[in-house]
Amino acid sequence: MKKILGIVSSARRLGNCEIMVKEVFRNLAGPCELNLLRLTDFRIDPCRGCYHCLFKDGDCVIDDDCSTVLAAISSADALILAAPAYFLGAHSALKRFLDRGLSFYGEMDRMWGKPAVGVAVAGIPGMEGSTLLGIESFLKLILADIRQTQVVYGALPGEIFLDDGNRKVAQTLAHSLFGPKVSKSAPCCSLCGGDTFRFMGPHRVRCMLCSNAGTLHMENGAAVIEMEMADHQLFLTRQDVRNHKTWLIGMKERFMGMRKTLKPISVNYLKDGEWINPHSKTHGAIFEKDDEE
């Protein structure tokens, strides 16, 4: 029995993201069970950048639901992710969880290489913006193995399945989750499979998924991208993940050695400007008050 985790990055109950995840699951072959996780239901506070989790095997000092989400991902055999397009980008719940990524390293070996598929849902055809990139970034940075990603269109709850073609999309996603990985038809990064690039000048591009650079040229009327692997990688191999964790941990020693040089630079800006303060307490402070009561 394979344990499938459906991650829904939308607050809308029985909305297009939720039913797409469930439709993909319905098309899986073999004995599987589905657990569902709606990211917007969980309190995920901003990372404090304290690095405590790096030295304590992922144990974060923030008392919220991040560890619950992390445990659900770690214990699953495969992942199905769906997120809506909000103002030309993926729902912020994805990025809020990713910002806590320093704590992922404690679960690195359990998270590595889980097969995953992702769906971006946009209300207007062609107006998904960077949503698919956001989905692929999420899956890569939780160390999953992306088998396939797709974009579907529909604004009203259930509207995506007025188009039978989207049920076929769900079928192909399901077949690729444990079957052959679906190759992209468009030019893509040979290192990570990403197909979103930033143009940096004549014939130079940078992959927006893995951040490696490369060259672009035309052959027989088709675009050809040749990538160059930088020395520092985040997720291409399991060793890359370990190396980046080591680099992060080394930042503490580096900071301690440079703090006398760095502090005067920062302090020089201490009194510039006037801060605008919120009228209400911060999100974190509210929860602390509730916990005390």
pLDDT digit string (tens) for 5-61?
999 999 999 999 999 999 999 999 989 999 999 999 999 999 999 999 998 877 899
Does residue 234 contact residue 240 with C-beta atoms inside 8 Å? yes
Structure confidence at residue 280 as a pLDDT band (50, 70, 90): confident
- Average the pLDDT over 116-142 and give the result: 98
More confident of the two residues 124 and 202: 124
Over 90: is that where the pLDDT of 186 sits? no
**Token pair belonging to 199:** 């143009």
pLDDT digit string (tens) for 150-159?
999 999 999 9
- Average the pLDDT over 148-169 and give the result: 97
Over 50: is that where the pLDDT of 174 sits? yes
Q: What is the mean pLDDT of the chain?
A: 93
Residue whose structure tokens are 């690195």: 108
What is the pLDDT at residue 281? 66
What residues form DSSP beta bridges with 226? 215
The model carries a pTM of 0.92
Pairing of strands 115-122, 145-153: parallel
What is the pLDDT at residue 196? 96
pLDDT over 90 for what percent of the chain?
88
Residues in the chain: 293
What is the pLDDT at residue 201? 87
- Comparing C-alpha atoms, which of 140, 42, 27, 23 is closest to residue 82? 23
Structure confidence at residue 286 as a pLDDT band (50, 70, 90): very low
What is the pLDDT at residue 35? 98
What is the pLDDT at residue 283? 52
- Comparing C-alpha atoms, which of 80, 267, 255, 45 is closest to residue 172? 80
**Spatial separation of the C-alpha atoms in residues 258 and 68, rounded to whole Å:** 36
